[in-house]
Structure 1
Amino acid sequence: MSRYERWNSLLELLAENGRLDVEEAAQALDVSAATIRRDLDELARQQMVTRTRGGAVAHNVSYDLPLRYKTARHAGAKQRIGAAAAALIAPGEVVGLNGGTTTTEVARALAVRPELVERAEGAPGRLLTIVTNALNIANELTVRPQVKIVVTGGVARPQSYELIGPLANAVLDELTLDVTVLGVDAVDLVHGATAHHEGEASVNRLLAERARRVVVVADSSKLGRRVFARICGLDRISTLVTDTEVDEGLAAAFTEAGVQVVTA
């Protein structure tokens, strides 16, 4: 287990229980108590937890974990999903991307698509337009000569690096997109795509509404679930890209509901 995976697990345990004991955490994560103490010291330095004698308690911060702590979760599956979703995008299209670890992998896969890179080197010009409310995605793609970046305005959420609020909505109201690739916190057959945070869900909903087609990217752990804020119904989703661990019956149900399911 990597350091980031341990940090993520510790924060999740702390979010569930409110406090954490070093010995119990070491047993739960199958690492030494000394390792847990170092991890808690580092998380306390970053003001993510408050250290106590023998453990830690929840700090007065949101436990919607920052993107850097999520990157190690299902990393291989997310990279495969990102590559499969990027393969659905044609040169010249206008693509909406919201924030999240899986859409970040989509952006990275798009940036190295051979037909985009080679054509850009041979004949300079923008071969793809990306509209995003994710600061980290904009940062990674700005240096790519083949990609035109359009960033929405808005207020930045440090938990996800996404811009939300009326300024983001105002920009998106003026645009039309060919395809939106949405990372979601959950998607099920009844409630469609959902997110933990209502502000993110609002921007994501508008990204979906402004696009001719919507591709949802989500690893199999997010399927068949719902969370707090609705993004869009299944009727807005053209394609679901997930990993090969998806339950076959659930995949068939999404297909029957009119959503193309791609596994990677």
Structure 2
Amino acid sequence: MKSLSLSERHSYILDLLRQQGSVAVIDLANQLKVSSVTIRKDLTLLEEKKMLYRTHGSAILINPYINDRHVNEKEKFYTEEKRLIGMQAANLITPDDSIIIASGTTMHALARQIVPQGHLTVITAAINVTHILACNKNIDIIQLGGLVRNSSVSAVGSYAEKMLENFSCSKLFMGVDGIDLEYGLSTTNMMEANLNRIMMKAAQKTIVLADSSKFGRRGFGKICDLDAVEHVITDSHIQPKILEELRERGLEVTIAN
């Protein structure tokens, strides 16, 4: 490759990031025939312009760390993707099933799509999920209690965790704030992360509902590693590279179209 100008190097780096999701300093130095010091300076300039995010020895397109936002704000984003994911997840509920529904806007989308076959029992921490399902006489709802998080309008803490010790369900439907191939599944709140882990113990199978914007992101509270869940339902905008990696790790991945 011929020697490139500063602007040409920056365009090359950003194009490669869009294709691959991440780039390593050493690989860029080899491809562009410049020193690692030059590449680090390039990445610093691009980060200052908020065009990428630097990590250890590499760069990615977005800042992976997520801030906590109110559920009403998050409801406005990826509404169609969440609706399709909710429809796909609802199809997994069997006649006379007993399930756990965690908190989050994708859980609200799931709740809106549930039409029970026979009688359905739902355990949930999310007050909004209870509100959506409460009008259906064929659904018994066990509302977990405890401290209510203002941002998620859901219960967390020891009371909710203690209640789950008395139940065993077929499935847990769980939303997350981030899915990172190395870090695993996470949320922005450590108490919610802990409750999710307890929920996983009370269910035979964990099904993660996450739109494609959640991949490559990290919340403050880690829930679990990727291999602790069985099934991920997401939308068609997931990066092919991430989809391939998930399936290579043995996860069942459903694309909601």
TM-score, normalization by structure 2: 0.71
How far, CA to CA, are the matches of 1:210 and 1:235 in structure 2? 17
Shift of 1:235: 2.1
Give runs of aligned pairs for residues 18-29 of structure 1, distance below 5 A: none
Counterpart check, 1:132 vs 2:136: no
Q: Which residue of 1 aligns with 2:155?
A: 163
Q: Which of 77, 99, 113 in structure 2 is aligned with 1:109? A: 113
Classify the secondary structure of the residue corresponding to 2:242: helix
Q: Which residue of 2 aligns with 1:191?
A: 183
Which amino acid letter does the alignment assign opposite residue 72 of structure 2? R
Counterpart check, 1:143 vs 2:135: yes
Deviates more, 1:135-144 or 1:178-187: 135-144
Give CA-to-partner distance per residue, 1:45-80, whole Å, 9 cap, x none. Answer: xxxxxxxxxxxxxxxxxx732211221101110100
Is 2:189–2:219's contact at 8 Å kept on the other side of the alignment?
no
Give runs of aligned pairs for residues 41-190 of structure 1, distance below 5 A: 64-110=68-114, 113=115, 116=116, 127-190=119-182
How far, CA to CA, are the matches of 2:176 and 2:150 in structure 1? 17
Shift of 1:99: 1.0
Which amino acid letter does the alignment assign opposite residue 180 of structure 2? D
Shift of 1:191: 2.3
Misfit runs of 4+, over 3 Å: none
Q: Which residue of 1 aligns with 2:248?
A: 256
Larger Rg: 2
Shift of 1:142: 1.2
Classify the secondary structure of the residue corresponding to 1:199: helix
Shift of 1:93: 1.6
TM-score, normalization by structure 1: 0.69
Shift of 1:139: 1.4
Q: How many residues align?
A: 190
Classify the secondary structure of the residue corresponding to 2:204: strand
Which amino acid letter does the alignment assign opposite residue 83 of structure 1? M
How far, CA to CA, are the matches of 2:227 and 2:165 in structure 1? 21
Shift of 1:155: 0.7
Question: What RMSD in Å do the two structures reach over aligned CA positions?
Answer: 1.3
Shift of 1:89: 1.5
Shift of 1:87: 0.9
Which amino acid letter does the alignment assign opposite residue 96 of structure 2? G
Classify the secondary structure of the residue corresponding to 1:72: coil
How far, CA to CA, are the matches of 2:227 and 2:167 in structure 1? 21
Is 1:213–1:236's contact at 8 Å kept on the other side of the alignment?
no
Shift of 1:148: 0.8
How far, CA to CA, are the matches of 1:69 and 1:234 in structure 2? 27
Give CA-to-partner distance per residue, 1:62-109, whole Å, 9 cap, x none. Answer: x73221122110111010011111111212221111111101111111
Is 1:107–1:137's contact at 8 Å kept on the other side of the alignment?
yes
Matched-pair identity in % = 32
Counterpart check, 1:202 vs 2:194: yes
How far, CA to CA, are the matches of 1:247 and 1:64 in structure 2? 24
How far, CA to CA, are the matches of 1:93 and 1:256 in structure 2? 30
How far, CA to CA, are the matches of 2:68 and 2:216 in structure 1? 21
Classify the secondary structure of the residue corresponding to 2:72: helix
Question: Which structure 1 segments of 5+ residues have no match?
Answer: 1-62, 121-126
